[in-house]
Amino acid sequence: MRLADLGRMATISEITDVSQLEHIHLLWQAQLAQTRQASFLQSLPWVRCYWNHFGEQRGFRILVCQSAGRVLGLLPLELRGTQLGSPELRGAAWGDVIGRNVAATLSVVMKEFAGSSRTRITLSLTNDRGRCQNAARLARLRCQQESVAAGPGVDLTVPRPESVGVRAPTIQQPLANGCSFRETCWDQTFQRHRPLGQARGDGECRYAWFDEFQFHWSSRDGKWLWFLRDVYQAAAKAGALDVCRLVRGGTTVASMIAVHWQGHVTPLGFTCVDRCDDESRFRQLLAATLHDGRQRGDEYYDLRFLPAGLTADWSTKGRELHRYCAQKTRRARLLQSLGSQLRIQR
């Protein structure tokens, strides 16, 4: 089936209430299993936590795209107000298309958007390869690529897995600015907790670890901390929690909370006892985490949620983040306005 014909046969269901997620639990799990390079950020437990904390103020919603009774994919969106007064649809900063048929899903979304009263949609997609622009063109929308950036991250599937590049386009330097794992942690103990999940009889959260993390939390964003606590519990039950810390003399000197899913690890927060030394502590903790993660079979560490000042030195083969803005042409907006006026007169 051609993408140009897909929009005529497809339908979109819009989920605007968190309670409706229970009705699509099996559907979501099936689509997530087919998603390429999926992460825990696309899972139902994460979406439920995000919705409970930020959904109402950000106009969060989920689009379920279907064609001929078959689900094509899911797309999380937010409805934001603009200075012009017209609401704008934005893709969630962490939310790619969930499902295997990314091109078909985007085509249906753009077709639906072209026929709606909204005038602008902005999407942030990973490794898009022109699919969003093609979908916008088929829907006769003007699509502009606003930015392309390689998100901070560490790829452990590089040709030389024993090394991680730091400020280098090629992967040549050892861990943590030339320091080996043993050298960075010679006087410290590295500890890591990855519960298997409630379904496998191991959903232990180890709340004491989170309490230590919370005690040293330096950010003023208290709402993100409470969101992290809910994610911490949900991820432990789902078998996706990943907590790392460095201990010296029985005292935790640095800790990091992350989630993992099929080899994709996403750190969500980092704390350090001595704030004046947080950069070196972070470097040591991340080096130890990568060393251990390689042995566990981890593939990619997405560092975009950590402070930019800490992740600037860590750069490997990153995954490109594409940001697109699709708008209706002036002619399309004029025709739509005339059509609305005619319907009112009738």
Residue-wise pLDDT for 82-125, tens only, equals: 544 456 778 876 778 999 899 999 999 998 888 877 778 888 88
For 278-325, how does the pLDDT look when each residue is reduced to its tens digit (9 = 90+)? Answer: 778 888 898 899 889 988 999 999 888 888 777 777 666 557 778 888
For residue 316, what are its two tokens?
A: 């490997």
Euclidean distance between CA atoms 112 and 329, whole angstroms: 15
* Residue 249, Ramachandran bin (φ over 0: left; ψ between -120 and 50: alpha; else beta): left
Q: Where exactly are the structural domains of the chain?
A: 3-151+321-345, 153-318
Q: Alpha carbon of 217 to those of 49, 257, 312: distances in Å?
A: 20, 12, 21
Residue 55 is given by DSSP the state: I
Q: How many Å apart are CA 337 and CA 75, to the nearest integer?
A: 28
Q: Based on the number of CB atoms within 10 Å of its own CB, is 95 exposed (0-12), middle (13-18) or buried (19 or more)?
A: buried
What's the pLDDT score for residue 115? Answer: 81
User: Which SS3 state, helix, strand or coil, does residue 208 take?
Assistant: helix
CA dist., res. 326 & res. 336, Å (int): 16
Looking at the DSSP bridge assignments, the partners of residue 143 are 326
151-201 residue pLDDT tens = 678 888 875 444 444 333 232 333 433 333 443 455 788 999 999 998 888
Task: Say which CATH topology domain 153-318 has.
Answer: Aminopeptidase (3.40.630)
Fold observed for domain 3-151+321-345: Aminopeptidase (3.40.630)
Q: Do domains 3-151+321-345 and 153-318 have the same CATH topology?
A: yes
